[in-house]
């Protein structure tokens, strides 16, 4: 094991907060974590905003007070060259997401440059690893390409405290997933834990400074990162050690951090500190906190796991790496946007808006909260596309089976 040394290694700041004090609490939190020692001032700093859904849902994406608290602290302390970084996904429109999650309001208010990393003006360049990858070179034998704009700049990862269907919990290390990998990032889901460790190695190489600020005012358990049960936990975290902050988040949620492979592997490789007994926690004493969260699957994620690890694994190239792959995007949209949010999530959002944090969210911008219902056009397109792709899938399976028969 080669220990990667950096300012703030093994140190995590945690505070309890309220809507009335949250901006000042973020300032105190970042100072407790020693962020200025981790982030040099003479280079630009990217704020890697998290959007897991284009619709606002508690604990799902970077919240406006998290973004505002971080930007205000940075600017007050003399960090003037700030960039808000957004990535797209195959199921989330980041332009819609940044509006509905009230993130664009904040970057505009504070005069922060806002970039969408996948736009054609941002070049992607081949990354040559300084030490061997665990898996990325095997997933992408043609080479690993990353956004050139990330190289040589500080980065602050801005996740929330929540569970995840593939990684048990999602936090600082997972937040790099969308920014560093392109639209074929789903190819890594079968080796997601090792992928997150590879991405951390890339980050520690390309960024002069690396930091994470995590919001747990709302926290989510169940089948995250979207179809979750929300909980008011009033907690915020910060650290220069992505492994340590994810370990503390996992421990708060009730999981053993070292039982989560990406935390354990990164800890064993010396990329950070994942063993809670070796982590210095400053600020709020979390020893009495155990939220007893549960990681669960959705119908869609169960199907994906059958492809990545189960009896459908031989069909992975056909199902997820061929022209048939849009079936999976449509399946996700059907489940989350046509069924789950209108029939389950919307009621949970309405209840969340009655809480202190929900009222704070509502207060940003024009005071409106977008809560979509079933959009007939979206449903029709999704259902029609699903039927078309189902036919294509059956045709592809028939061709594949014929090929097997001919070979035998």
pLDDT for the residue 354: 98
CATH number where 117 lies: 3.40.50
Query: In this predicted model, which residue has the larger pLDDT, 381 or 131?
Result: 131
When pLDDT is averaged across residues 100-117 and rounded to a whole number, the result is 97
The pLDDT-based confidence of 91 (bands split at 50, 70, 90) is confident
Q: In terms of residue numbers, what domain contains 48?
A: 11-297
Task: Say how far apart CA 295 and CA 314 lie, in whole Å.
Answer: 26
Q: Decide: helix, strand or coil at residue 71.
A: helix
144 and 164, same domain (yes or no): yes
Which of the 8 DSSP states describes residue 295?
A: B
132 and 112, same domain (yes or no): yes
81 and 109, same domain (yes or no): yes
pLDDT digits (tens, 9 = 90+) for 178-208: 889 886 777 888 899 999 999 999 999 999 9
pLDDT tops 70 at residue 375:
no
| Element containing residue 230 per DSSP (H, E) | strand 229-239
> Of the candidates 242, 277, 297, which is a domain's last residue?
297
258 and 323, same domain (yes or no): no
> Of the candidates 258, 277, 297, which is a domain's last residue?
297
DSSP 319-340: HHSSTTTHHHHHHHHIIIIIII
pLDDT tops 50 at residue 408:
no
* Across 81-90, 344-353, 372-381, least confident range: 372-381
pLDDT for the residue 309: 64
pLDDT digits (tens, 9 = 90+) for 348-369: 999 999 999 999 999 999 999 9
Query: What's the domain count of the chain?
Result: 2
Please check whether residue 5 lies inside any domain of the structure: no
Please check whether residue 4 lies inside any domain of the structure: no
* Across 155-164, 194-203, 233-242, 324-333, least confident range: 324-333
Looking at the DSSP bridge assignments, the partners of residue 84 are 47, 114
Q: Decide: helix, strand or coil at residue 160.
A: strand
304 and 255, same domain (yes or no): no
Please check whether residue 1 lies inside any domain of the structure: no
Own/partner long-range contacts of 311-314 (Cβ < 8 Å, ≥24 apart): 313/190
pLDDT tops 80 at residue 380:
no
pLDDT tops 50 at residue 61:
yes
110 and 222, same domain (yes or no): yes
160 and 239, same domain (yes or no): yes
Task: Say how far apart CA 321 and CA 324 lie, in whole Å.
Answer: 8
247 and 384, same domain (yes or no): no
> At which residue do the structure tokens 């690993």 appear?
144
381 and 286, same domain (yes or no): no
> In the chain, what percentage of residues exceed pLDDT 90?
73
Q: Label residue 232 exposed, middle or buried (CB < 10 Å: 0-12, 13-18, 19+).
A: middle
pLDDT for the residue 68: 98
Cα 208–209–212 angle (5° rounding)? 150
When pLDDT is averaged across residues 149-175 and rounded to a whole number, the result is 97
pLDDT for the residue 92: 84
pLDDT for the residue 297: 79
pLDDT digits (tens, 9 = 90+) for 206-263: 999 999 999 999 999 999 999 999 999 999 999 999 999 999 999 999 999 999 999 9
Task: Say how far apart CA 231 and CA 219 lie, in whole Å.
Answer: 5
287 and 360, same domain (yes or no): no
Phi, psi of 81, rounded to the nearest 5 degrees: -95, 80
When pLDDT is averaged across residues 65-85 and rounded to a whole number, the result is 97
365 and 277, same domain (yes or no): no
pLDDT for the residue 332: 78
| Element containing residue 155 per DSSP (H, E) | strand 154-158
349 and 211, same domain (yes or no): no
């Amino acid at each position: 094991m080669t220990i990667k040394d950096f300012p703030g290694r093994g140190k995590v700041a945690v505070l309890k907060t309220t809507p009335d004090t949250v901006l000042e609490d973020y300032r105190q939190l970042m100072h407790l974590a020693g962020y200025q020692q981790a982030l040099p001032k003479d280079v630009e700093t990217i704020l890697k905003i998290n959007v897991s859904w284009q619709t606002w849902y508690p604990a799902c994406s970077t919240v406006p007070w998290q973004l505002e608290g971080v930007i205000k602290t940075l600017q007050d302390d003399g960090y003037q060259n700030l960039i808000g970084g957004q990535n797209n996904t195959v199921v989330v429109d980041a332009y819609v997401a940044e509006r509905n999650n009230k993130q664009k309001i904040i970057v505009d208010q504070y005069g922060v440059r806002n970039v969408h990393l996948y736009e054609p003006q941002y070049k992607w360049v081949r990354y040559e690893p300084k030490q061997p990858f665990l898996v990325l070179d095997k997933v992408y034998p043609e080479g690993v390409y990353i956004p050139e704009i990330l190289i040589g700049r500080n980065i602050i990862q801005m996740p929330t405290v929540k569970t995840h269907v593939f990684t048990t919990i999602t936090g600082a290390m997972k937040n790099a997933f969308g920014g560093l990998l392109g639209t074929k990032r789903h190819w890594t889901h079968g080796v997601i834990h090792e992928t997150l460790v590879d991405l951390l190695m890339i980050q520690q190489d390309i960024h002069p400074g690396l930091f994470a600020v995590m919001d747990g005012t709302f926290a989510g358990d169940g089948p995250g990162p979207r179809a979750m049960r929300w909980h008011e936990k009033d907690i915020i975290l910060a650290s220069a050690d992505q492994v340590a902050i994810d370990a503390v988040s996992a421990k708060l949620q009730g999981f053993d951090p070292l039982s989560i492979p990406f935390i354990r592997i990164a800890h064993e490789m010396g990329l950070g500190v994942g063993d809670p007994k070796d982590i210095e926690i400053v600020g709020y004493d979390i020893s009495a906190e155990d939220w007893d969260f549960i990681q669960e699957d959705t119908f869609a994620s169960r199907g994906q796991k059958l492809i990545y690890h189960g009896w459908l694994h031989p069909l992975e190239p056909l199902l997820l790496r061929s022209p048939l792959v849009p079936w999976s995007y449509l399946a996700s949209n059907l489940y989350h946007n046509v069924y789950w949010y209108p029939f389950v999530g919307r009621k949970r959002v309405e209840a969340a808006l009655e809480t202190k944090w929900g009222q704070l969210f509502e207060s940003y911008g024009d005071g409106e909260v977008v809560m979509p219902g079933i959009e007939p056009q979206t449903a029709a397109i999704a259902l029609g596309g699903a039927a078309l792709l189902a036919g294509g899938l059956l045709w592809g399976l028939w061709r594949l089976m014929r090929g097997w028969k001919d070979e035998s």
